[in-house]
Homo-oligomer: A and B are copies of this chain.
Amino acid sequence: MDDAPQDLRARRHAATHQEIHRAALDLFEQQGVRETTVQQIADRAGISTRTFFRHFTSKEQAALPGQRRLRQAIDGLDVPADATLPDLLSAVESTAAAAMSAGDEEARRLARLLAAEPDLRGLAAAQERQLAQRLRARLTALRPELDPRTLLVLAEVAVAVWNALWARWAETQDTDPLDLYRSAQADLRAIVR
Contacts and interface: CB of A to CB of B under 8 A. Distances in A.
B189 A149 contact: no
Interface in A144-193: 147, 149-150, 152-157, 159-161, 163-164, 167-168, 180, 183-184, 187-193
Total copies of the chain: 2
Contacts of A129: 121, 125
A156 B149 contact: no
B183 A149 contact: yes
A107 interface: no
Interface of A: 85-86, 88-89, 121-123, 125-126, 128-129, 132, 147, 149-150, 152-157, 159-161, 163-164, 167-168, 180, 183-184, 187-193
SS class, residues of chain A in contact with chain B: helix
Contacts of A188: 153, 157, 192
19 contacts: A85-B191, A86-B191, A88-B191, A89-B192, A122-B123, A147-B187, A149-B164, A150-B190, A150-B191, A152-B167, A153-B191, A155-B164, A156-B164, A157-B188, A157-B191, A157-B192, A159-B160, A189-B192, A192-B192
A83 B81 CA distance: 39
A125 B159 CA distance: 13
Contact of A164 (B86, B152, B184): B152
Nearest to A151: B187
A167 B155 CA distance: 12
A155 B191 CA distance: 10
